[in-house]
C-alpha cells in the first residue's frame, strides 16, 4: 500500500512538472515562463516560448534555458499536434531563450547574424553560469547554434508568411516576429508584461525607439518575452515609462552626486508597484548602468 501511494504521488509530481501550452489564437500557443530569476526550483523555466502550427509543420519561437526544458515543450507540443517542429527562431542571445536548442536535432534554427555570433562566443559561459544556478536541470545541455541567418523582411515557411523586424535595445539584436494573418506580435524581450525589465545588455535609448515602433503596429495579441500575453498597448507604454524612469533616475542621481546605494534606498514609484521582480531587477540595472552614465555625464 505504501508503495502504491508513493507510486501515485510520483505520478502526480511528474504531471506537475509537465508544461501546459496556453492557446494564443487558432494556430498558436505559448508556454508561460515564471516571473522569477533562475533557480533550482524553477529549473530555468523563466521565459516565454511560443509555437505556430502551419499546414505541415510547427514553427517554434525560442527554446528556453536547457535541453530538459526543450524536451518538455517538445512533449507538450506532441500532445497537440503530430506535425514535426521543423523550424526554430531564436529571438536573441540570452540563455533563457536558446539553450533548449539541442533538444531539437533535425530542426532548422534561424536567428540574426549577431545572435548566432554571440551564442557561439558566449554560449559555453552561459552554460557554466546556469549549472551553478539551476544545477541538474542543465544536464545534457550543449550549445547548438542557429544554422540559418535571417536578413529578409519576410520569412515564408511551409507557405506560412511571417514579418520580421530587426530591432535592438534589449540586446544589440532583438528579432520581433509579426504574424499578420492572426495579428499576433511576438515581441521577444523588447516587451516584458508587468515583469520588471532585465537590462544586462541594454541600450535604453534604442530600446525606447524600438518600443515606439512596436506601438504603431496594429496587433491584436502581444506575446511578450516575459509575463502574460496582452490584447492592449499597455505593456509597451509601461515599458517606455519604466525605461524613462530608469534613465532619469540615473541621470539625476549623478547630477546630484548620489551613489548607487542612495539610489537604491528610494521607494518604488506607484506606477511600478504591480511589476514583479522590481527590487532585484531595478537594483541589477542601477549597478550595471551607473558606471556608463557616470562616464557619459562627466
| Interface residue list for Zn ion (CB under 5 A) | 94, 189
Q: Select from 265, 262, 243, 154 the least CA-distant residue to 192.
A: 243
| Of 87 and 126, CB closest to Zn ion | 126
| Of 174 and 179, CB closest to Zn ion | 174
| Of 94 and 195, CB closest to Zn ion | 94
160: Cα separation from own chain's centroid: 23
Residue 60 gets the label, from left (phi > 0), alpha (psi -120 to 50) or beta, of beta
| Of 47 and 77, CB closest to Zn ion | 47
Q: How far is the CB of 192 from Zn ion (least distance, A)?
A: 9
Q: How far is the CB of 265 from Zn ion (least distance, A)?
A: 28
Structure-block grid coordinates of residue 276: 514583479
Q: Crossing angle of helices 204-215/234-256, nearest 10°?
A: 160
| Of 94 and 144, CB closest to Zn ion | 94
DSSP string covering 215-230, please?
A: HTS--SEEE-SBS--B
10 Å Cβ neighbour count for 214?
A: 22
Q: How far is the CB of 156 from Zn ion (least distance, A)?
A: 27
Q: How far is the CB of 155 from Zn ion (least distance, A)?
A: 21
Q: How far is the CB of 92 from Zn ion (least distance, A)?
A: 6
Regarding beta strands 58-61 and 85-89, do their DSSP bridges make them parallel or antiparallel, or are they unpaired?
Answer: parallel
Amino acid at each position: 500500500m505504501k508503495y502504491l501511494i508513493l507510486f501515485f504521488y510520483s505520478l502526480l509530481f511528474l504531471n506537475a512538472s509537465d508544461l501546459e501550452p496556453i492557446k494564443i489564437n487558432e494556430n498558436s500557443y505559448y508556454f508561460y515562463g515564471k516571473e522569477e530569476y533562475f533557480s533550482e526550483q524553477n529549473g530555468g523555466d523563466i521565459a516565454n516560448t511560443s509555437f505556430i502550427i502551419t499546414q505541415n509543420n510547427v514553427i517554434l519561437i525560442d527554446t528556453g534555458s536547457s535541453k530538459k526544458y526543450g524536451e518538455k515543450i517538445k512533449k507538450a507540443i506532441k500532445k497537440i499536434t503530430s506535425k514535426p517542429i521543423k523550424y526554430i527562431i531564436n529571438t536573441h542571445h540570452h540563455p533563457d531563450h536558446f539553450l533548449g536548442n539541442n533538444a531539437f536535432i533535425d530542426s532548422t534554427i534561424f536567428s540574426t547574424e549577431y545572435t548566432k555570433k554571440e551564442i557561439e562566443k558566449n554560449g559555453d559561459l552561459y552554460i557554466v553560469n546556469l549549472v551553478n544556478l539551476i544545477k541538474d536541470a542543465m544536464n545534457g545541455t550543449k550549445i547548438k547554434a542557429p544554422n540559418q541567418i535571417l536578413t529578409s523582411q519576410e520569412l515564408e515557411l511551409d507557405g506560412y508568411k511571417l514579418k520580421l523586424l530587426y530591432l535592438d535595445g534589449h540586446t544589440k539584436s532583438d528579432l520581433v516576429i509579426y504574424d499578420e494573418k492572426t495579428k499576433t506580435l511576438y515581441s521577444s524581450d523588447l516587451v516584458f508584461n508587468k515583469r520588471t525589465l532585465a537590462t544586462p545588455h541594454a541600450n535604453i535609448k534604442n530600446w525606447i525607439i524600438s518600443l515606439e515602433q512596436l506601438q504603431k503596429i496594429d496587433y491584436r495579441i502581444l506575446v511578450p518575452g516575459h509575463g502574460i500575453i496582452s490584447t492592449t498597448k499597455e505593456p509597451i507604454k509601461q515599458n517606455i515609462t519604466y525605461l524613462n524612469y530608469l534613465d532619469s533616475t540615473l541621470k539625476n542621481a549623478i547630477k546630484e552626486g548620489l551613489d548607487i546605494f542612495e539610489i537604491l534606498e528610494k521607494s518604488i514609484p506607484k506606477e511600478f508597484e504591480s511589476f514583479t521582480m522590481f527590487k532585484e531587477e531595478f537594483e541589477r540595472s542601477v549597478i550595471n548602468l551607473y558606471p556608463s552614465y557616470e562616464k557619459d555625464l562627466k
